[in-house]
Structure 1
Amino acid sequence: MSLPVLADSVRLTADGVHILDRRKFPLEREWVRCGTAEDVAVAIEDMVTQSSGPYFAALGAMVLAAREASVLRPAEARAYLGRAADRLVSTRKTNNHLRKAVCFVLSSVDSAGSVSGTELVAAAESGARLGDERYRARSRALGTYTAELLPAEATVLTHCWADLYLVELVLAARRAGKEPAFVCTETRPYLQGTRLTAETLGEMDVATTVVTDGMGAATLASGEITALVTAADRVTMDGHVVNKIGTLGLAVAAHAFGVPFHAMVQAPDQAARTGSDVPLEYRDGEEVLSVLGHRVASERVRGRYPAFDVTPPRFVTTVVTDRGAFAPGRLGEYYAEGEPNQ
Structure 2
Amino acid sequence: MKHNSAHLGSQKHTSRVFRRRTAAGGATGVVFLAAALLLQQVPAFAATPVNLGTATSYSVLAGTTVTNTGPTTLQRDLGVSPGTTITGFPPGNSAGATHAADAVAQQAQSDVTIAYNNAAGQPLTTSVTGDLVGRTLTEGVYGSTSSLGLSGQLTLDGQGNPNSVFVFQAASTLITASASSIILTNSAQACNVFWQVGSSATLGTASSFKGTILALTSITVETGATVEGRALARNGQVSLDTNVFTSPSCATTTATATTTATATETAAATTSATTTPSPSPTATDTTTPRANETESTPSASAVPLADTGGLGRNKGTNIDTAVSPSNGGLAVFGAIAAALAVTTAIVFAVRPVAGRRRSSQE
TM-score > 0.5 by shorter chain: no
Greater strand fraction, Structure 1 or Structure 2: 2
Greater helix fraction, Structure 1 or Structure 2: 1
- For normalisation by structure 2, the TM-score amounts to 0.23
The structure showing larger relative contact order (alpha-carbon pairs under 8 Å, at least 6 residues apart) is 2
